[in-house]
Amino acid sequence: MAIKKNIKFDLPIGGIRAKNMQEIREHFTLEILEYARNGTLVKWLRSRKLEDELTAVQALLELDDDALFSGLCTVFSVSPRQNLLTALAQLRGEFNAAKVDVSPRQNLLTALAQLRGEFNAAKVGIKPREKTLERALSELARSVSIASNNSGLKEDNFLTQAVANTNEKITASLAKWRADVSRQQRNTEFREQFGDSLLVYVCGKVKAGKSSIGNYVAYGHGDPNRSIIDAAEPTPEFFCEAIAEDAKKPEAELTAAELEEKRKLAAQRNLAEQRKFAVGACERTASIQGFKLSGLTWIDSPGLHSRTEPKGELAQGYVDAADLILYSMSSSQPGRKTDLEEIADLLQKGKRVEVVITRCDMTDVDEMMLENWFLKS
Confidence of residue 98 (pLDDT cuts 50, 70, 90): low
Nearest by Cα to 88 from 37, 43, 45: 37
Nearest by Cα to 299 from 229, 236, 239, 220: 239
- 356: β partners: 328
The pLDDT score that the predictor gives to residue 99 is: 52
Domain boundaries, the chain: 11-99, 105-192, 197-358
Cα angle: 51, vertex 54, 58; to 5 degrees: 140
- 238: β partners: 291
More confident residue, 356 or 303: 356
Burial degree of 184 (CB within 10 A; 0-12, 13-18, 19+): middle
Q: Tens digit of pLDDT for each residue in 279-338?
A: 655 444 456 788 888 788 898 876 554 444 445 566 677 788 888 999 988 877 787 888
Least confident of 57-61, 78-82, 93-97: 93-97
- Cα–Cα dist 260/40, whole Å: 45
More confident residue, 241 or 359: 359
Alpha helices in the chain (DSSP H): 21-26, 31-38, 40-47, 51-60, 65-75, 82-98, 104-123, 126-149, 158-191, 210-219, 226-231, 256-268, 271-274, 309-321, 337-348, 367-376
The pLDDT score that the predictor gives to residue 377 is: 46
The pLDDT score that the predictor gives to residue 246 is: 46
Confidence of residue 247 (pLDDT cuts 50, 70, 90): very low
Decide which of 2.30.29, 1.20.1740, 3.40.50, 1.10.3470 is the CATH code for 197-358: 3.40.50
Confidence of residue 77 (pLDDT cuts 50, 70, 90): confident
pLDDT at residue 94 is higher than 70: no
Region 80-101 average pLDDT: 59
Q: Is the pTM value of this prediction over 0.85?
A: no
